[in-house]
Amino acid sequence: DAKTTQPNSMESNEEEPVHLPCNHSTISGTDYIHWYRQLPSQGPEYVIHGLTSNVNNRMASLAIAEDRKSSTLILHRATLRDAAVYYCMGSSNTGKLIFGQGTTLQVKP
């Protein structure tokens, strides 16, 4: 399982973009990079995943470094509802997801 490193916390202003970094230098060539978030008192919520190319969906964008040792989750316009703990992780063919400590994102009005 890939070891991931994320900053403990980040702050953003409402309506501004947020870039959440993640280092995953030990990820294998076939592991997908997944991002989940957990809002207070709720279960984890899938955000986005990718392998090599940058990915976009309605929630966010995922920028993956060319060497795949790091990635950045981009929230284009942060809202107060985006305040959560954001987790990045590598998948594996074992099926289980291994959560790290994540980044606590605070969004200021």
Contact set with other proteins (CB under 8 A): 30-32, 34, 36, 38, 42-47, 49, 87, 91-102
CB atoms within 10 A of CB 106: 14
Q: Which is nearer to other proteins, 75 or 109 (CB)?
A: 75
Q: Which is nearer to other proteins, 13 or 54 (CB)?
A: 54
Q: Which is nearer to other proteins, 1 or 72 (CB)?
A: 1
Name the residue among 67, 29, 63 with its Cα closest to residue 49.
Answer: 63
Name the residue among 105, 91, 109, 107 with its Cα closest to residue 37.
Answer: 105
CB atoms within 10 A of CB 9: 11
CB of 54 to other proteins, least distance (A): 16
CB of 19 to other proteins, least distance (A): 21
- Give the Cα separation of 91 and 107 in Å (integer): 28
CB of 41 to other proteins, least distance (A): 8
CB of 105 to other proteins, least distance (A): 15
